[in-house]
């Protein structure tokens, strides 16, 4: 794999860390800025909305730019946003800084996925995308706990200074090692928007939303579920999250290789596994060892779908790879919000925490149905993966 892919993974690590580390620092941020914990929690929501709104906007703004220039500019926005976070004097400024940081998220992963796929031969494209997304999974395994510990020990602002430094390293790496494609054709915005008309594309995008909803319906409430149902201590939950992070990383790498082999088979297999493991967890959550084994397998299956889903939308958006790939990142975040809402609805209706995995299983079943419809449309239209250089 080219060195450029490692630099893209480093960039993904920085972006993933800044997105999720705020959750571990909410008490420190709330106390320092004089807001409630729920109020500080809106910083997470603000970032997610920034991703969802910023993804298509930034994709269209950079549509005529060379991909290397676009990635450099987006990383520059990321660095600026984290600098603003580190120096924000009040809650309102921190919220604005979080939204600014989020603007780069969707477009960077979208364009970065296209670049990653263009760096390798046809039969290794999904593996290349998976390597880039490994940075995102490692952000959950290493970046978030280390960033949380740093912020708790030296103040929450120090975490954003550290992420800013990583962003600068990533920017230098992108500038030095990312190849500039001389034969790259500038995008035509009208043709890019026209590529969004096909039914196959919207089905593929719906598959991403339902997948992410299936994952986050359970993942959002994993800490209270482990604590109240399984009886895991607070420190034990930290180790459980680390185990889940390892499963996510393993699944991401395996998923890239499987998607290079057979894309449709990989997605269908993942969604069947998610449905079965989520259902199983509603029973195994009653005991520690079975619960931990199930969660590790569930996490491995979950992120095995990520590179396949990214390649999947690029199948139906060959005329607008930057835009459709970026929209898919927005779809992941929309699914995150949907899954969290569904899980919360199950709990609020009095069905109990043990019913949350069953709701996740239903969403995984819907994702399987969407996948079957997607490839049925794709076969009828003769769609094939063709990632531009």
The C-alpha atoms of residue 177 and residue 174 are separated, in whole angstroms, by 6
What is the model's pLDDT at position 138? 84
Residue spans of the domains in the chain: they are: 3-184, 192-381
pTM above 0.75, yes or no: no
Q: Which residues have a Cβ under 8 Å from the Cβ of 255 and sit 6 or more positions away?
A: 126, 130, 266, 270, 303, 304, 305, 306, 307, 308
Chain center to CA of 233: 28
Q: How far is CA 137 from CA 85, 210, 303, in A?
A: 23, 20, 9
What is the model's pLDDT at position 368? 94
The C-alpha atoms of residue 54 and residue 312 are separated, in whole angstroms, by 22
- How is domain 3-184 classified at the CATH fold level? Growth Hormone; Chain: A; (1.20.1250)
Nearest to 210 by CA among 31, 373, 47, 8: 373
CB-CB neighbours of 389 under 10 Å: 11
What is the model's pLDDT at position 322? 66
Nearest to 157 by CA among 305, 307, 11, 22: 22
**192-381 CATH:** 1.20.1250.20
Sequential pLDDT tens for the chain (389 residues): 678 899 999 999 999 999 878 866 777 888 899 987 667 767 877 887 788 788 888 877 887 788 899 999 999 999 999 999 999 989 999 999 999 999 888 889 888 888 888 888 877 777 787 788 788 878 877 887 788 888 888 999 999 999 999 999 999 999 999 887 655 555 555 666 666 777 878 888 899 999 989 998 888 777 778 888 888 886 677 788 788 888 888 888 888 788 777 888 889 999 999 999 999 999 999 999 999 999 999 999 988 888 888 777 777 766 666 677 778 888 887 887 788 788 888 887 888 888 889 999 999 999 999 999 888 876 555 544 444 34
What is the model's pLDDT at position 207? 92
What is the model's pLDDT at position 245? 81
What is the model's pLDDT at position 318? 66
First to last CA, the chain: 16
Retrieve residue 176's tokens. 């030095």
Q: Do residues 304 and 258 lie in contact, with contact meaning Cβ atoms separated by under 8 Å?
A: yes
What is the model's pLDDT at position 301? 92
User: Do the first three CATH levels of 3-184 and 192-381 match, i.e. the same topology?
Assistant: yes
What is the model's pLDDT at position 370? 92
Retrieve residue 118's tokens. 């263009």
What is the model's pLDDT at position 164? 97
- Farthest-apart Cα atoms in the chain, separation: 59
The single-letter DSSP state of residue 229 is: I
What is the model's pLDDT at position 211? 93
């Amino acid at each position: 794999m080219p060195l450029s892919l490692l630099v893209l993974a480093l960039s993904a690590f920085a972006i993933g860390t800044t997105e999720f580390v705020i959750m571990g620092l909410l008490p420190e941020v709330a106390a320092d800025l004089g807001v409630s914990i729920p109020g500080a929690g809106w910083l997470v929501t603000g970032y997610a909305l920034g991703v969802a709104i910023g993804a298509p906007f930034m994709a269209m703004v950079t549509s005529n730019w060379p991909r290397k220039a676009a990635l450099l500019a987006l990383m520059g926005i990321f660095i600026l946003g984290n600098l603003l976070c580190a120096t924000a004097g009040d809650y309102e400024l921190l919220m604005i800084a979080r939204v600014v940081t989020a603007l780069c998220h969707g477009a960077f992963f979208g364009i970065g996925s296209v670049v990653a796929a263009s760096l390798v031969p046809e039969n290794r494209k999904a593996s290349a995308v998976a390597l880039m997304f490994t940075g995102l999974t490692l952000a959950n395994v290493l970046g978030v706990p280390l960033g949380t510990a740093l912020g708790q020990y030296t103040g929450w602002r120090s975490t954003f200074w550290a992420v800013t430094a990583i962003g600068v390293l990533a920017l230098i790496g992108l500038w030095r090692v990312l190849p500039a494609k001389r034969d790259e054709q500038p995008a035509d915005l009208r043709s890019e928007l026209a590529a969004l008309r096909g039914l196959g594309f919207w089905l593929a995008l719906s598959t991403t939303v339902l997948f992410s909803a299936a994952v986050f319906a359970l993942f959002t409430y994993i800490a209270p579920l482990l604590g109240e149902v399984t009886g895991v201590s607070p420190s034990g939950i930290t180790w459980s999250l680390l185990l889940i992070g390892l499963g996510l990383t393993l699944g991401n790498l395996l998923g890239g290789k499987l998607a290079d082999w057979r894309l449709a088979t990989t997605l269908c297999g993942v969604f069947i596994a998610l449905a079965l493991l989520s259902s199983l967890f509603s029973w195994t959550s009653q005991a520690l060892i079975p619960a931990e084994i199930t969660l590790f397998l569930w996490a491995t299956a979950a992120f095995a779908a990520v590179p396949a889903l990214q390649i999947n939308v690029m199948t139906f958006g060959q005329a607008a790879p930057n835009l459709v790939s970026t929209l898919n990142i927005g779809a992941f975040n929309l699914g995150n919000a949907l899954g969290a809402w569904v899980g919360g609805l199950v709990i609020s209706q009095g069905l109990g925490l043990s019913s949350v995995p069953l709701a996740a299983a239903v969403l995984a079943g819907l994702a399987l149905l969407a996948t079957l419809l997607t490839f049925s449309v794709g076969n009828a239209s003769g769609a094939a993966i063709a990632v531009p250089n």
